[in-house]
Chains A and B, each alone.
Chain A
Amino acid sequence: MDKHIPPRLDVFLDISTYLTGFPLIDLQSTGMAEVYFNTIVAHVNPQTIDQFYDACESILKLKSTEAINETIEKELIPNGNYAGLGQKIILMWYLGTWDGNVISAQSYTQSLVWEVAETHPPGAKQPGYNSWSEPPIKINC
C-alpha cells in the first residue's frame, strides 16, 4: 500500500458511503477523496477529527445497516457533535463546498448533486447538441 495514503482515509470513505447514500466506487471515482479528507484536516482541530473517526469506527462495527444508520443519525448528524463534521462531509460530496465555499474547480465539477438530479454540472460534462430535448440517458454500469 502506498505509504502516502493518509491514515483513516478508509474510515472517512466508509462513513461517507452511509452519509451520502453513494457506494464506495462512486465516491472513489470522483477522484476527490483525498482532497476532501485533507480539507477536514485543514479546517478542524486534530483532536475533534480523531474523536470523530473513533466514533465512526465504532459505528461501522455495528452489525446491521439499520443500526449503523440509527447511530449515525444520533451521533454524527447533530450539528453540535464533532464540529458538525457529519453534515459538512455530506455537503462536501454533494456540493463540493466547505462552509459555503467551493473547495476547487474540480470539487464543483465532481459534486454529486448533479447526478442525483439526473443532470450534469452546468458548464461541464456537457451532454451534447439536442440532448435536452429528450429525457436524460440512464447510464448503467
Chain B
Amino acid sequence: MENNTTEYDVVIVGSGIGGSIVAKTLSQAGKKVLLLEAGLEAGMSFQKKEAFDNYMGYLNTFYEKAAKVPNSPYPNLKDAPSPDVLDIEPITACQPSTKGYLVQAGPLPFGSDAWRGPGGTTMHWLGSTPRMLPNDFRMKTLYGVGVDWPFDYNTLKPYYEMAEFEIGVSGSVSEQKGPDVDVERDYGENYQFPMKKVPQSYLDKQVIESVPSGFKVFFNGKEHELQFVSTPQGRNSIPNADYPYADIVWNKSSGKLQLQAEKRWNTFTKAYEHVEQRHATYSPVGAVWDDHQGHRCEGNASCVPICPVQAKYNALKTLRKSDPKHIAIRTRSVASKVLTNEETGEVTGIVYKKYENPSSSVFESHVAKGKIYVLAANAIENAKLLLASGIANSSDQVGRNLMDHMVMLTWGLLPKKAYPFRGPGSTTNIPTMRDGEFRKDHAACISPIDNWGWGWPKFSPGSDVENAVAQGMFGESLRNHIHHIVPRQLLLHFECEQTPEPENRVTIDPNYLDNLGNYRPVIHYSASDYMKKAFAEYKKVSDQIFKAAGVQDFTEYTTDNPDHVEYQGKVYNFWGAGHIVGTHRMGNNSKDSVVNENGQTWDHNNLYLVGCGNMPTLGTSNPTLTMSALAFKTSEAILNHLNS
C-alpha cells in the first residue's frame, strides 16, 4: 500500500451535489481539499472541448439506448458499478436477486437507482426543489410516527436559501400553498427565488381547468381541498430582478456562511469580484463547457436522464466553482475503507483503490490523508463504506432506515388533447396530501402532474406503437390511432413518504463483492401497512380526480410488477423515486443516530457525512434541496472546526 504524503485540510469522497458543495465552499474559503471520485476523469473535465465532447458522448449514448432509463446515458463501470432500474426483478423467498450491482434481499426490491460518476445522480435528476414543510421536522411529536429532526424548519431556513442560490431555483414564492404552507412564515416577507417560475405546461392548465374550482377530494374520512401549485425547480428560467443575492461567502469573523450582494465568485478568473449595483441581478449558470449555453430551459423534455444544454442544474456546475489553487481531484479512485485510531477514535486516512482500466480488477491502493474527512458518496455508498470500515456505528443505526418515496402511479386518457411529452418532466404538483392529521394513519404524499404521458409506467409512446402494430394496425389507421391516443395521455404520481423502519437497510456480506473486491450493498426492503394504506387512500383520490376531470382510467396494477403489494384484497404497484434517504441519520444523541445536527459522526470527531443519508425522515419533498441545505450547514461547521 502506497501512502500519499500530502496532507489536506479535508478529504471528500464523491463529487455529487453534497461533495461538490463542500468542495466549493471549503476551497473558496482557502482550505486545501482533496476530492476522491470513483468514476472517470472524462466526466470531470472543465476544459471546454473535453467537457463538451464527453457530454455529447453521453447524449449520443442516450439516443442509442432502447430503454431510456435514468442511468442510460452514463457509463456503468465494473470497478465502480451503479444500481440500475433495469436490474430490478421479483425476489423469491430466501433467494436474493443478484442481477445488478445491488444485492436485493427483499422481500421487495428497492426501486431506485443512483449514478456513481462525476456530478453523481444530479446528472439525471429531474430537478424539482420544493422545501420540506415545518411539520415534516416534527413527525414524532405531531403524529407519533418516525422521529423528530434534531432541529426545526427555521434552523434550516438560511441554508435552504443558500441551496436555492446554488442550484439556481426557478419558482414563484407567492404561489406556494397547501397544508402547512404559510409563505410569510416559511420564506420571509420579501424572499424571492433566483429565477421566475418555469412556465406551467399546457397539460397542467388543461388538468387544472378540468377540475371544478373548490373541488374537494375525500380520503382518510375527510374532505380536503384539491390544490395545484407551480413546482420550484433547479432549471434555468428568466432571472428574477428582485432577487438580491450575488453569492454565498464565508464570514470568518462571524463563523457563518452568508448570502450577500457585494461580491461573487468568478469562474473564469477563479477569484471573488466586486459586484456593481447594475449587475446585481442573478446570472443563470450555463453549461460547464460554455457558460453562454443553457441560460434558459429549451424544452428538450429529457431532463431525466439528460439535459442536452445543461439548463438543468447538475453538481459539476458547483464543483467548477471550486478554487483550483486549493483543490486536488483524483478520479478512478474508489474509497474502500476508512482508517481510524482505535484509541482516540480519530479518522487517520481513507484507503482508496485506484484503477486504470475500469473493467480490469487490477488496482493500486493508496491512503488519502487530511485533518477532516467527508463521506459524500450517496446514502447507500456512505452506509456501505462505514459498514466495511466497521466505524461510526455505536448506535447500530448505520445502514438502517433506508427510505424512498414509494411512487404509486395512476394513468388515463384526458377527454381532450393536452399534448404531453413536452417541457420539463413536471411543472405542477398537488400539495393537498402533504400534511394533515391523516399522517397518524398513513403516509403523506406530494402528487406531481407528469408532463411525459405514460412514459414511466408503460414506456409510451414506443409501447403504444408496438402494441398497435402487434394487433395488425398499419398505415393511416395506425397513424390516426397514435395521433388520437398519445396526446391525451395523463400520468399522476403519488409520491408517498416512507417512514424510517430499522429493518429497511443496507448491509454487507463478504459473499458479495464487486470487481475490485469492494462490498456490493445488500438491500433489505419492504412496505409497511402505513405505506399500503396510503396507496389505497390515494388510489381513491386519483379516482375522484379522474372522474372530475373526465379522465378515462387505464391504471393497471399487476403481480408481475416486481414492486407489488396487497392491501385489503387489492394489488398496488409502486415505483422508486430515486430518493435514496436515511441510512446514517442525524439526531440529538449518539444512542439512536449516527451524526449530529452538523453531519459530524458521534463516534469520530473528524468524520462528517454529507448527503440524503443524514435525513431522519423524508418529508414529501424531493430531497435534493434539503440535502444541499444540510451540506451548506455541514460546510459551515467544518470551517469552524478547522478554525478552532
The complex places the Cα of A69 from the Cα of B477 at a distance, in Å, of: 11
| Residue A60 CB within 8 A of the other chain | no
The complex places the Cα of A72 from the Cα of B473 at a distance, in Å, of: 11
Q: Which residues of A, 18-54, contact B by the 8 Å Cβ criterion? A: 18-22
Contact partners of B65 in chain A: CB under 8 A: 102
Given that A21-B475, A91-B465, A124-B300 are known contacts, is A116 also in contact with B482, CB under 8 Å in the complex? yes
The complex places the Cα of A90 from the Cα of B471 at a distance, in Å, of: 13
Contact partners of A135 in chain B: CB under 8 A: 202, 417, 419
Q: Which residues of A, 92-136, contact B by the 8 Å Cβ criterion? A: 94-95, 97, 100-102, 104-106, 108-109, 113-114, 116-120, 122-124, 126-136
Interface size class on chain B is: 35 or more
| Residue B478 CB within 8 A of the other chain | yes
The complex places the Cα of A133 from the Cα of B423 at a distance, in Å, of: 8
Contact partners of A131 in chain B: CB under 8 A: 299, 422-423
Given that A119-B419, A132-B199 are known contacts, is A90 also in contact with B487, CB under 8 Å in the complex? no
Q: Is the Cβ of B300 less than 8 Å from the Cβ of A116?
A: no
Given that A114-B421, A123-B306 are known contacts, is A72 also in contact with B475, CB under 8 Å in the complex? yes
Given that A20-B479, A72-B474, A91-B465 are known contacts, is A118 also in contact with B68, CB under 8 Å in the complex? no
Given that A122-B421, A132-B199 are known contacts, is A116 also in contact with B486, CB under 8 Å in the complex? yes
Q: Is the Cβ of B475 less than 8 Å from the Cβ of A122?
A: no
Contact partners of A71 in chain B: CB under 8 A: none
| Residue B93 CB within 8 A of the other chain | no
Given that A95-B462, A123-B62 are known contacts, is A132 also in contact with B422, CB under 8 Å in the complex? yes
**Which of chain A's residues has its CB closest to B68's CB?**
A122
| Residue A73 CB within 8 A of the other chain | yes
Q: Which residues of B, 436-475, contact A by the 8 Å Cβ criterion? A: 451-453, 461-462, 465-466, 469-470, 472, 474-475
Given that A91-B465, A113-B461 are known contacts, is A105 also in contact with B478, CB under 8 Å in the complex? no
The complex places the Cα of A124 from the Cα of B422 at a distance, in Å, of: 11
| Residue A83 CB within 8 A of the other chain | no
Q: Is the Cβ of A21 less than 8 Å from the Cβ of B423?
A: no
Q: Is the Cβ of B66 less than 8 Å from the Cβ of A21?
A: no
The complex places the Cα of A135 from the Cα of B201 at a distance, in Å, of: 9
Q: Is the Cβ of B487 less than 8 Å from the Cβ of A133?
A: no
| Residue A9 CB within 8 A of the other chain | no
Q: Is the Cβ of A127 less than 8 Å from the Cβ of B422?
A: yes
Q: Is the Cβ of A133 less than 8 Å from the Cβ of B202?
A: yes
**Which of chain B's residues has its CB closest to A109's CB?**
B63
Q: Is the Cβ of B301 less than 8 Å from the Cβ of A113?
A: no
Given that A108-B64, A129-B296, A132-B202 are known contacts, is A94 also in contact with B465, CB under 8 Å in the complex? yes
**Which of chain A's residues has its CB closest to B61's CB?**
A105
Contacting residue for B470 out of A19, A87, A105, A114, CB 8 A: A87
Contacting residue for B298 out of A73, A108, A126, CB 8 A: A126
Q: Is the Cβ of A123 less than 8 Å from the Cβ of B59?
A: yes
Contact partners of A55 in chain B: CB under 8 A: none
Q: How many whole Å from A57's CB to the nearest CB in chain B?
A: 18
Given that A117-B483, A133-B423 are known contacts, is A104 also in contact with B64, CB under 8 Å in the complex? yes
The complex places the Cα of A99 from the Cα of B296 at a distance, in Å, of: 37
Given that A77-B472, A102-B66, A113-B462 are known contacts, is A22 also in contact with B479, CB under 8 Å in the complex? yes
Q: Is the Cβ of A130 less than 8 Å from the Cβ of B199?
A: yes
Q: Is the Cβ of B301 less than 8 Å from the Cβ of A105?
A: no
Contacting residue for B199 out of A22, A114, A133, A136, CB 8 A: A133
Q: How many whole Å from B284's CB to the nearest CB in chain A?
A: 11
Q: Is the Cβ of B301 less than 8 Å from the Cβ of A119?
A: yes
The complex places the Cα of A128 from the Cα of B469 at a distance, in Å, of: 32
Q: How many whole Å from A66's CB to the nearest CB in chain B?
A: 11
Q: How many whole Å from A105's CB to the nearest CB in chain B?
A: 4
The complex places the Cα of A86 from the Cα of B475 at a distance, in Å, of: 11
Q: Is the Cβ of B465 less than 8 Å from the Cβ of A113?
A: yes
Contact partners of B451 in chain A: CB under 8 A: 132
Given that A20-B475, A119-B419, A120-B301 are known contacts, is A105 also in contact with B60, CB under 8 Å in the complex? yes
Q: Is the Cβ of B478 less than 8 Å from the Cβ of A90?
A: yes
Q: Is the Cβ of A21 less than 8 Å from the Cβ of B477?
A: yes
Q: Is the Cβ of A91 less than 8 Å from the Cβ of B466?
A: yes
| Residue B318 CB within 8 A of the other chain | no
Q: How many whole Å from B269's CB to the nearest CB in chain A?
A: 29
Contacting residue for B421 out of A22, A72, A117, CB 8 A: A117
**Which of chain B's residues has its CB closest to A101's CB?**
B66
Q: How many whole Å from B60's CB to the nearest CB in chain A?
A: 5
| Residue B424 CB within 8 A of the other chain | yes
Residue of A105, A119, A124, A136 contacting most chain B CB atoms (<10 Å): A119
**Which of chain A's residues has its CB closest to B63's CB?**
A105
Q: Is the Cβ of A126 less than 8 Å from the Cβ of B299?
A: yes
Q: How many whole Å from B172's CB to the nearest CB in chain A?
A: 14
Contact partners of A95 in chain B: CB under 8 A: 462, 465-466
Q: How many whole Å from A104's CB to the nearest CB in chain B?
A: 7
Q: How many whole Å from B450's CB to the nearest CB in chain A?
A: 13
Residue of B60, B205, B462 contacting most chain A CB atoms (<10 Å): B462
Residue of B297, B462, B469 contacting most chain A CB atoms (<10 Å): B469
Q: Is the Cβ of B422 less than 8 Å from the Cβ of A102?
A: no
**Which of chain B's residues has its CB closest to A122's CB?**
B302
Contact partners of B299 in chain A: CB under 8 A: 126-132
**Which of chain A's residues has its CB closest to B300's CB?**
A126
Q: Is the Cβ of A116 less than 8 Å from the Cβ of B421?
A: no
**Which of chain A's residues has its CB closest to B67's CB?**
A100
Contact partners of A127 in chain B: CB under 8 A: 298-299, 422
| Residue B342 CB within 8 A of the other chain | no
| Residue B308 CB within 8 A of the other chain | yes
**Which of chain A's residues has its CB closest to B482's CB?**
A116
Q: Is the Cβ of B63 less than 8 Å from the Cβ of A102?
A: yes
Q: Which residues of B, 287-342, contact A by the 8 Å Cβ criterion? A: 296-302, 306, 308-309
Given that A73-B472, A102-B65, A114-B421 are known contacts, is A122 also in contact with B300, CB under 8 Å in the complex? yes
Q: Is the Cβ of A132 less than 8 Å from the Cβ of B423?
A: yes
Contact partners of A104 in chain B: CB under 8 A: 64
Q: 7 closest pairs, A vs B, by CB?
A: A132-B423, A123-B302, A21-B479, A105-B63, A122-B302, A117-B486, A133-B199
Chain B residues engaging chain A, CB cutoff 8 angstroms: 59-60, 62-66, 68, 199-203, 205, 237, 296-302, 306, 308-309, 417, 419-424, 427, 451-453, 461-462, 465-466, 469-470, 472, 474-480, 482-483, 486-487
Chain A residues engaging chain B, CB cutoff 8 angstroms: 18-22, 69, 72-73, 77-78, 86-87, 90-91, 94-95, 97, 100-102, 104-106, 108-109, 113-114, 116-120, 122-124, 126-136
11 contacts between A and B (CB under 8 A): A95-B465, A95-B466, A97-B462, A113-B461, A117-B482, A119-B419, A123-B306, A132-B201, A132-B202, A133-B199, A136-B419
List 17 other contacts, CB 8 Å, given A19-B475, A20-B478, A122-B68: A20-B474, A21-B478, A21-B480, A69-B475, A77-B472, A91-B465, A91-B466, A97-B462, A105-B64, A113-B482, A117-B486, A124-B300, A126-B299, A127-B298, A129-B299, A131-B299, A132-B299
